[in-house]
Amino acid sequence: MNAYIKNQIELFKEKNKNRGCLLVSCPDQPGIVAAISQFLFSYNANIIESSQYSTNPEGGTFFIRIEFECPNLKEKAKEMENQFAEIVEQFSMEWNFTHVYHVKKAAIFVSKELHCLLELLWEWQSGDLMTNIALVISNHETAKEVVEGLNIPFYYVPANKDIRGQAETTQLKLLKEYEIDFVVLARYMQILSPKFVEENPNKIINIHHSFLPAFVGARPYERAFDRGVKLIGATSHYVTNDLDEGPIIEQDISRVDHHDNVDSLKKIGRRIERSVLARAVKWHIEDRIIVHQNKTIVF
């Protein structure tokens, strides 16, 4: 990590040392917001941002994200989590409490095409993607020079369907060694095994080069061209064991027409892929996503 990025991260940590985030989902019923607000007030916490959503006020599921400022949060955090357990039990909540000052460690997986990786690196360098890119892993050496030029460790791990188990053993070892919080597949053109996915639930973010659920799997631009589509897009989603069918985080599209061939579709698509993946990663590191069944609620 270069000195500028390291300094940006340290400034971010200091600025947000007393800021926390609470994500909650539970059966909808009266009193949820009041109970959470009163709980935070009891610790002299000030709510900075609050967003909520209910699938159905009568018998649905309620979701809320609250970001708050609390004096001496580090010292109070453990006690707050223990005391919040009473509210969790009362409302049958699923919840996650995080510290904003905790800068998540990311591992980026990439193959030959670098446009998504380069976008993430640019956002990271500019300070708009507040994460610690701890390492980049690739089954090709195409990205080695640009990654190491930014003082980010680069690991070349050959991978294909015949040596997938061996490759993933190495990859999982690296993720553990670097204490990685989440993985970004920035056009990593390999299918992950169920074991790898199960060890990182809702922690692997993929970019698929089509507007899902259209054109799942390989060669979506060629198939889109053959079908004569008028819109192409890209989808960022969490990885599950069902290929390209995990919870969708973000999507975008662009209009095309009969003048566009496969190469021009790919060129247009790369622009969409870059921005869609960057937004999805940003929302993940800011704890703005709740996964519910096979969908996401993004605050």
Catalytic amino acids? Answer: 244
Q: Would you list the DSSP string of 196-253?
A: HHHTSTT-EEEEESS-TTSS-SS-HHHHHHHHT-SEEEEEEEE--SSTT-SPEEEEEE
CA-CA distances (angstroms) from residue 54 to 27, 32, 77, 167?
Answer: 9, 12, 28, 42
Could you identify the residue written with the tokens 């209009």?
255
CA distance 22 to 65: 6
Residue 207 CB-half CA count within 13 A: 33
Distances (CA, A) of 133 to 2, 123, 124, 151, 247: 11, 11, 8, 10, 23
Amino acid at site 63: F
> Do residues 51 and 297 touch, judged by C-beta distance below 8 A?
no
CB 255 within 8 A of CB 230: yes
Q: Tell me how far CA of residue 263 lies from CA of 135, 221, 260, in angstroms.
A: 31, 9, 8
- Length of the chain equals 299
Identify which of 210, 211, 196, 221 has the alpha carbon closest to the alpha carbon of residue 137: 196
CA atoms within 13 A on the CB side of 234: 24
Whole-angstrom distance, CA of residue 214 vs CA of residue 275: 19
